[in-house]
Amino acid sequence: MKLLLLKRLLPVLALVMTSSAIALAQGTNPNNGGPGPDPDPIDTPIDGGVSLLLAGGVAYGLKRLRVRRKQA
């Protein structure tokens, strides 16, 4: 466990922390040469994708239940 922590988890954690620090180092001025925020944002509906994902999850769960009951 200690070897896993030193060889795998610690370098990944260090990489994530340094990359997040770099990402936060961006300027906060919206007029620093780049485009500013859109004054009239467009709403994006997410209902269709979420309902399909939910239906797929239910179908997968029912299939797993059927297979489990056949084995018992």
> Does residue 63 lie in a domain region?
yes
> Does residue 34 lie in a domain region?
no
> Does residue 66 lie in a domain region?
yes
> Does residue 21 lie in a domain region?
no
Rounded Cα distance between 21 and 15, Å, is 10
Bigger pLDDT: 36 vs 42: 42
The enclosing H or E element of 37 equals none
> Does residue 24 lie in a domain region?
no
Instruction: Residue 57: give the domain boundaries.
Output: 48-72
Rounded Cα distance between 57 and 69, Å, is 18
The enclosing H or E element of 10 equals helix 10-23
pTM of the entire predicted model:
0.39
User: Which pLDDT band holds residue 41 (cuts at 50, 70, 90)?
Assistant: confident
> Does residue 31 lie in a domain region?
no
3-state secondary structure of 46: coil
Q: How many domains is the chain partitioned into structurally? A: 1
Q: Indicate if the pLDDT at residue 61 is higher than 90.
A: yes
